């Protein structure tokens, strides 16, 4: 499993870097749209819907994304805010699972939850990409935070994990894994913030501190997104959302942390005007 995981990552990582760093806004939006539609297909697969209903759902998602491509930044940030607020309920459902399962595990509610997860994630990435001159690096940093959190939590938990984080939702995740991932992100974001503030003089001290706090919040939120998808899979009786990525499961399995972390990262990056000094 680990060997498959590494091989798949080795293949996908260069493709992801090219997509993030060297594409136009239109091509980036299209590339992201394909990923979102693949994840949406897996989402309705978890719901065990008929083929016609799955295709209809994908058509609805695609239509919304096409419309939003021409929407102003304020609308995209509004979707990020809506997503961020919704995690209050998501965290409650995770914490008390399966007590409140009847509140969300019905087909029509799952339709809405899928939209609320995937569409703001696409909106967040597209908004970051449009930051003048250096948008691609904001996208890369935000996504790297989630990947680093997931990877360090996996290996730290595998080595030192003793106390379960949410055994009813995801028995494999541990408190030690979370601590290890948060400490790793703290070190990385502190180094990046210090370099941008001290070496390049692009951040003030307050901006650098805000940047580190935002990075830690993003990492923590990504864990909630991971747990939420684990809860959905457990309620649906599935181990993985799909089989498209050997060793990783499906596309949804790879972007679960992004669905929670990226909207709030984008929202607070714009709210704090962090990118202003880096233009």
Question: Model confidence over 104-161: pLDDT tens digits?
Answer: 888 888 999 999 999 999 999 999 999 988 899 999 999 999 999 999 999 999 999 9
Q: From CA 262, how far away is CA 72, in angstroms rounded?
A: 18
In total, how many domains does the chain have? 1
- Give the residue ranges of the chain where pLDDT is below 70: 1-9, 11, 243-249, 277-279
Residues with Cβ < 8 Å from 225, sequence gap 6 or more? 256, 257, 258, 259, 260, 261
Other Cβ atoms closer than 10 A to 237: 8
pLDDT at residue 198 in the model: 86
158: Cα separation from own chain's centroid: 22
The answer to whether 125 and 32 have CB atoms below 8 angstroms apart is yes
What pLDDT score does 91 carry?
A: 93
Could you tell me the residue range of the domain that residue 236 belongs to? Answer: 2-278
Cα separations in angstroms, 165 against 45, 145, 204, 212, 235: 27, 20, 36, 24, 18
The C-alpha atoms of residue 170 and residue 226 are separated, in whole angstroms, by 9
- pTM for this entry: 0.93
Q: With the C-alpha atoms ordered 153, 157, 160, 161, is the resulting torsion angle positive or negative?
A: positive
Q: How far apart are CA 163 and CA 66, in angstroms?
A: 45
The CB density around residue 163, as the number of other CB atoms within 10 Å, is 13
Residue 191 pLDDT: 96
- pLDDT for res 260: 96
pLDDT given for residue 185 in this prediction = 97
Instruction: Please tell me the distance from the alpha carbon of residue 259 to that of residue 251, in angstroms, as a whole number.
Output: 12
Is the link from the previous residue into 121 a cis peptide, with omega within 30 of 0? no
């Amino acid at each position: 499993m680990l060997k498959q995981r590494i091989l798949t990552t080795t293949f996908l990582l260069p493709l992801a870097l090219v997509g993030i760093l060297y594409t136009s806004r239109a091509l980036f939006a299209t590339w992201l749209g394909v990923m979102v539609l693949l994840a949406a297909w897996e989402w309705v697969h978890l719901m065990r819907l008929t083929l016609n209903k799955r295709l209809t759902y994908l058509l609805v998602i695609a239509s919304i994304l096409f419309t939003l491509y021409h929407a102003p930044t304020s609308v995209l940030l509004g979707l990020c805010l809506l997503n961020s607020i919704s995690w209050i309920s998501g965290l409650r459902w995770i914490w008390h699972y399966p007590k409140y399962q009847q509140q969300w595990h019905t087909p029509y509610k799952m339709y809405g939850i899928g939209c609320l997860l995937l569409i703001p994630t696409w909106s967040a990435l597209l908004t970051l990409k449009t930051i003048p001159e250096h948008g691609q690096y904001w996208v890369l940093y935000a996504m790297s935070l989630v990947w680093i959190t997931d990877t360090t939590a996996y290996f730290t938990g595998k080595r030192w994990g003793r106390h379960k984080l949410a055994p009813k939702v995801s028995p494999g995740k541990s408190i030690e894994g979370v601590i290890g991932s948060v400490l790793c992100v703290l070190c990385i974001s502190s180094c990046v913030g210090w370099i941008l503030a001290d070496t390049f003089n692009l951040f003030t001290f307050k901006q650098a501190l805000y940047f580190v706090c935002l990075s830690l919040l993003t990492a923590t939120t990504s864990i909630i997104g991971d747990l939420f998808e684990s809860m959905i899979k457990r309620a649906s009786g599935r181990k993985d959302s799909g089989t498209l990525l050997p060793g990783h499961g499906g596309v949804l399995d790879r972007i679960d942390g992004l669905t929670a972390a990226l909207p709030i990262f984008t929202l607070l990056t714009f709210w704090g005007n962090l990118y202003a000094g880096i233009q």
